A = this chain, B = another copy of it.
């Protein structure tokens, strides 16, 4: 543990929070796991709240933002990445609201991440409309409402799905079910040939 103590603390805190939950991990547990003294740890992070903030800021800054989709197939890849991100960090999504209530900073980072994703999806749907894969909006605001729901699924589906659906389904079918009726005949054909076959295979 020479190079970057601070970064090592963040990574260990991530691992322990993820495995055992924020409430069940003490500053001492993290110091012990790293074989450092509590004093050494609190030199970098005064209290446990600072650690959850640092963990979540670190995740946010290091998250490899996927490219903005320009086709149906790329939109599917975007969703695939989102779902795998979800699974990797499932503790942080399952306790989304709880973690936000510990620190306003955490909440700020959550909001920034969602806003970034929202903008990407807005451009993605403009791209699909330009390609002739998606119908223009009949009622203004509906595509933005759809995007809010897609983000909601990204946050809540995987950790909480058992409470509201009895099937252990992937969120894919669900995401596409919402978009499908907004596709043109060309878009629907592409979806059925390209995405449905691929997801089954």
**Is residue A104 within 8 Å, beta carbon to beta carbon, of the partner chain?**
no
Chain A 139-162, CB-CB to B under 8 Å as 1, else 0, gives 101110110110111011101111
Stretch at the interface among A52-60, A65-73, A163-171: A163-171
Residues of B within 8 A of A27 (CB): none
Residues of B within 8 A of A166 (CB): 111, 115
**Is residue A190 within 8 Å, beta carbon to beta carbon, of the partner chain?**
no
Closest B residue by C-beta to A155: B164
A89 CA to B180 CA, complexed, in Å? 34
**Is residue A39 within 8 Å, beta carbon to beta carbon, of the partner chain?**
no
Residues of B within 8 A of A138 (CB): 180-181, 188
Q: Report whether B152 and A156 are in contact in the complex, using a CB–CB cutoff of 8 Å.
A: yes
Q: Which of B155, B163, B169, B174 contacts A96 (CB 8 A)?
A: B163
Residues of B within 8 A of A173 (CB): 141-142, 145
Residues of B within 8 A of A149 (CB): 149, 153, 174, 177-178
Could you write out 14 A-B pairs with CB less than 8 Å apart?
Answer: A94-B97, A95-B97, A97-B159, A97-B160, A138-B181, A142-B180, A145-B174, A145-B178, A151-B164, A151-B165, A155-B156, A155-B160, A155-B163, A155-B164
